[in-house]
Amino acid sequence: MNAMIEMTKLFYQRPQPGAPDETVAEWYRAKGRMHERLAECAGHDAAQERAYAAASYEHARRLELRAASCRTEQAA
């Protein structure tokens, strides 16, 4: 997919404040995938794009853990 199209899509699909953690985590995973594709272009920004991808995936992981923790607390 064209990088500009993908960035625009992410911009318009950004979750609203108060969105469930799972929804926000999915958006961050999509953002990570976009940064991975940009890193594959092997330009001078490839290392920075890989770092952005890693940060996006880590943020998604933290949100998923928080969501799972909330579900566990509600079930107890």
pLDDT at 1 over 70: no
Mean pLDDT of the chain: 92
Give the residue-averaged pLDDT of 9-37.
Answer: 95
Question: Which of helix, strand or coil describes residue 40?
Answer: coil
pLDDT in tens, 41-62: 878 899 999 999 999 999 999 9
The length of the chain, given as a count of residues? 76
Contact 26, 13 (CB under 8 A): no
Q: What is the pLDDT of residue 73?
A: 72
Confidence of residue 31 (pLDDT cuts 50, 70, 90): very high
Burial class (CB in 10 A: 0-12, 13-18, 19+), 11: exposed
Half-sphere exposure of 19 (CA within 13 A, CB side): 14
